[in-house]
């Protein structure tokens, strides 16, 4: 299994009223295992139907993440504040589309894998609004550690960043986005993301 694929696996996040008071690790466990189980149980998804797999991502992943916060941090507060509301909307939509497709591609390669997840019990203090959940993704003889940063919202814990092999997802995109902004401003970054997504749709 390619390492970069595992980084997105733990990001599937099921929330809702039932999980509003649940610990971050227990919610993540339900989300990850539930998403993978649903994919493996669906004949079309298991056969590699990307539309079907993407549908699972959109319904089980997107509603329960804070991609707006992810986008805002990755773009940078200064650049984000200077962007118009329409530019912010385009940045959010294009970045979310990129992540959804990446996650769907990850799941498509895991559909025939025998994967086991181990979640480190949370030691998050009462009243905390931000925490990091540590996990292990086991496949064959491989043990891959994944950390993911979560925020406490009115609807429960939501994920907004992932750390794999010492690299936080937001930090990786911050460098790429800063480079694009320095070259062409906010519109240049939007163009970069839009063209990237267009290639992915081809």
Question: Considering Cα of 196, then 4, then 159, then 100, what sign does the dihedral take?
Answer: positive
Beta strand 156-164 with 142-153: parallel, antiparallel or unpaired? antiparallel
Q: What is the largest CA-CA distance in the chain?
A: 49
Whether this prediction's pTM lies above 0.85 is answered by no
Determine the pLDDT at residue 200. 77
Determine the pLDDT at residue 99. 84
Distance CA 68, CA 62 (A): 11
Determine the pLDDT at residue 147. 82
Highest CATH level, class, for 3-201: alpha beta
> Angle 52-57-62 (CA atoms, 0-180°, nearest 5)?
145
What contacts 138, CB < 8 A, 6 or more positions away?
A: 115, 116, 117, 118, 144
Distance CA 176, CA 193 (A): 11
Q: Tell me the average confidence (pLDDT) per consecutive run of 10 residues in the chain, 202 residues long.
A: 52 46 80 81 92 86 85 97 98 93 79 85 87 86 84 89 84 95 98 93 66
CB 35 within 8 A of CB 56: yes
Determine the pLDDT at residue 180. 97
Structural domain spans, the chain: 3-201
């Amino acid at each position: 299994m390619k390492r970069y694929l595992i980084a997105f696996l733990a990001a599937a996040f099921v929330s809702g009223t039932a999980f509003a008071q649940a610990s971050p690790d227990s919610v993540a466990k339900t989300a990850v295992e539930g998403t993978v189980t649903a994919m493996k149980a669906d004949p079309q998804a298991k056969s590699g139907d990307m539309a079907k797999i993407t549908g699972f991502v959109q319904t089980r992943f997107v509603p329960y993440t804070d991609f707006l916060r992810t986008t805002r941090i990755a773009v940078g507060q200064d650049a984000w504040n200077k962007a118009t509301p329409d530019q912010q909307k385009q940045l959010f939509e294009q970045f979310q589309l990129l992540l959804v497709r990446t996650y769907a591609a990850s799941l498509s390669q895991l559909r025939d894998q025998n994967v086991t997840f181990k979640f480190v019990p949370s030691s998050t203090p009462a009243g905390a609004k931000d925490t990091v959940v540590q996990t292990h993704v086991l496949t064959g003889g491989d043990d891959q550690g994944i950390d993911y940063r979560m925020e406490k919202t009115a609807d429960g814990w939501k994920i907004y960043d992932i750390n794999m092999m010492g690299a936080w997802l937001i930090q990786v995109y911050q460098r790429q986005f800063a480079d694009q902004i320095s070259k062409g401003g906010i519109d240049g970054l939007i163009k970069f993301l839009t063209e990237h997504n267009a290639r992915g749709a081809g």
